[in-house]
Amino acid sequence: MLKRFFDPILILFVFSLAILVCAVFLFPNITNAFTDKDNAFSYLEEQMSFGPRTPGSEAHEKFLNWVTQKLSAQGWDVDLQKGNYKGHEITNVIASRQNLVADPDAEWIILGAHYDSRLSADADSVSANQTQPVPGANDGASGVAILLELAERLPKESDKNIWLVFFDGEDQGNIAGWEEWCIGSKMMAQYLEKQDRRPDKVVVIDMVGDKDLQIFREKNSDKALTDEIWSTTEKEGLSNIFQDKEKYSIYDDHIPFLKIGIPAVDLIDFDYPAWHTLADDIQNVSSDSLAAVEQVLYAWLTKK
Ligand SMILES: [Zn+2]
């Protein structure tokens, strides 16, 4: 009988089981059944295939057609909010499912990300590169990829009124003919300010695809809403990525909403050496990072 305990197949089985158990404890997000990392990453790759989505470019136009088609196919109502800034056409994309939320007082949440790429890689150390557009794998495409993955994964029936908003004109500040940052989100906040009913919460995601992802509490963000999200990150076992301390003050698409009194948060990893350089390309982003941020937002939106 004793001999059976040393059966090589049994030993192999026990050893494999031990490895699996360790993997689940060490990497809790691999148990995340709803996140298809490759699918989210494919949304990033598709955006990159258009080229930099700079305002006025063909890639920008292609992006608008593509995102509208994707969201409509996933059953979302799509509205384009158009405006003009110093002669530049600005287009925000708004995806909603208002018709599915029966309660008119349901909590209204905006999840937003900018989709435009910066016209000038002015932080690049090579001066000839500074007149080139930023590829925007992390700065632009990462947030959009997560919103599209959520568009696909979120349950159709929800007790919340969720808007997925793709902002234009976030990333052109300090460029001749532009001057300001966050044009699209300012345009949306101006619209909302005139409405009787306004969103209850706004969460902006930007630069969330860094291979070495670490997101700190952003100092301008609403404290209570930040606490709410950080408590989700803890429950999801992602405190290694979502660091429980403040680091930067960022002027991002959450600011225009804070200015009109709507609690808003910016989830951003600003420790990204490729920021506003030609190196902000696909080799510096990872599908694991996209999956972690998506996991937190999904849990926050769906858990009671
Ligand atoms: Zn940027």
> Which CATH number does the domain housing residue 80 bear?
3.40.630.10
pLDDT band at 291 (very low <50, low <70, confident <90, very high): very high
Q: Quickly list H helices, the chain.
A: 8-26, 37-49, 58-73, 143-153, 183-193, 223-235, 255-259, 287-302
pLDDT at 16: 61
Distance, in Å, from the CA atom of 299 to the CA atom of 18, rounded to the nearest integer, reads 28
Same domain, 117 and 52: yes
Across the range 238-267, mean pLDDT stands at: 98
Q: Do 49 and 153 belong together in one domain?
A: yes
Are 208 and 240 within one domain?
Answer: yes
Looking at residue 170, the DSSP 8-state letter turns out to be S
- State whether 187 and 55 are in the same domain: yes
Query: Do 150 and 283 fall within a single domain?
Result: yes
Does the pLDDT at position 20 exceed 90? no
pLDDT mean over 136-158? 96
Euclidean distance between CA atoms 205 and 254, whole angstroms: 9
- Residue-level pLDDT at 2: 44
Locus of tokens 């700190």: 216
Cα separation, 113 vs 116, in Å, equals 9
State how beta strands 88-96 and 160-167 pair: antiparallel
Q: Are residues 128 and 25 in the same domain?
A: no
CA-to-CA separations, 210 to 70, 141, 206, in angstroms, rounded:
24, 11, 10
Domain that holds residue 27: 1-31
State mean pLDDT over 226-231.
98
Let me know whether 212 and 99 are in one domain: yes
CA–CA distance, 258 with 220 (Å, rounded to integer): 9
Compute, in angstroms, the gap from residue 106 CA to the centroid of ligand 1: 33
% of the chain beyond a pLDDT of 90 = 82
pLDDT of residue 158: 86
Residue 22 is predicted with a pLDDT of 46
At 49 the pLDDT is 98
Residues 45 and 100 in one domain: yes
Going by their DSSP bridges, the two strands 107-114 and 215-217 should be labelled as unpaired
- The tens digit of pLDDT for each residue in 68-117 reads 999 999 999 999 999 999 999 999 999 999 666 667 788 999 999 999 99
Confidence check: pLDDT of 23 > 70: no
The reported pLDDT for the residue numbered 24 is 45
pLDDT (0 to 100) of residue 36 = 74
Q: How far is the CA of 172 from the centre of ligand 1 (A)?
A: 8
> How far, in Å, CA of 293 to CA of 285, rounded?
13
State if pTM tops 0.75: yes
Q: What is the spatial distance between Cα 41 and Cα 159, in angstroms, rounded to a whole number?
A: 28
* Three-state DSSP state, 114: strand
State the CB neighbour count (10 A cutoff) for residue 296. 27
Cα 140 to ligand 1 centre (Å) = 7
Question: 3-state class of 127 per DSSP?
Answer: helix
What radius of gyration do the chain's Cα atoms show?
Answer: 21
User: How far, in Å, is the centroid of ligand 1 from the Cα of 93?
Assistant: 19
Whole-angstrom distance, CA of residue 51 vs CA of residue 78:
23
Residue 33 predicted with pLDDT over 50: no
- Three-state SS for 31? helix
Co-location of 27 and 110 in the same domain: no
Whether residue 19 is found in the same domain as residue 152: no
Question: How many distinct structural domains can be found in the chain?
Answer: 2
**Which pLDDT score is estimated for 125?**
98
40 vs 157, residue with greater confidence: 40
Looking at the fold, whether 209 and 88 belong to one and the same domain comes out as yes
- Cβ within 8 Å of residue 105, ≥6 positions away: none
Question: How far, in Å, from the CA of 193 to the mean position of ligand 1?
Answer: 26
User: pLDDT band at 264, cuts 50/70/90?
Assistant: very high
For residue 69, the model assigns a pLDDT of 98
Residue 12: is its pLDDT beyond 80? no
What is the spatial distance between Cα 227 and Cα 63, in angstroms, rounded to a whole number?
Answer: 34
CA of 97 from ligand 1 middle (Å) equals: 29
pLDDT band at 5 (very low <50, low <70, confident <90, very high): very low
How far is residue 237's CA from residue 168's CA, in Å, rounded to a whole number?
Answer: 33
Residues constituting the chain = 304
Q: How far apart are the first and last CA of the chain?
A: 53
Q: How many angstroms does the Cα of residue 16 sit away from the middle of ligand 1?
A: 45
Please tell me whether residues 132 and 5 are part of one structural domain: no
Q: How far is the CA of 275 from the centre of ligand 1 (A)?
A: 7
Q: What is the mean pLDDT of the chain?
A: 91
What one-letter code names the amino acid at 117? S
Percent of the chain with pLDDT over 70: 87
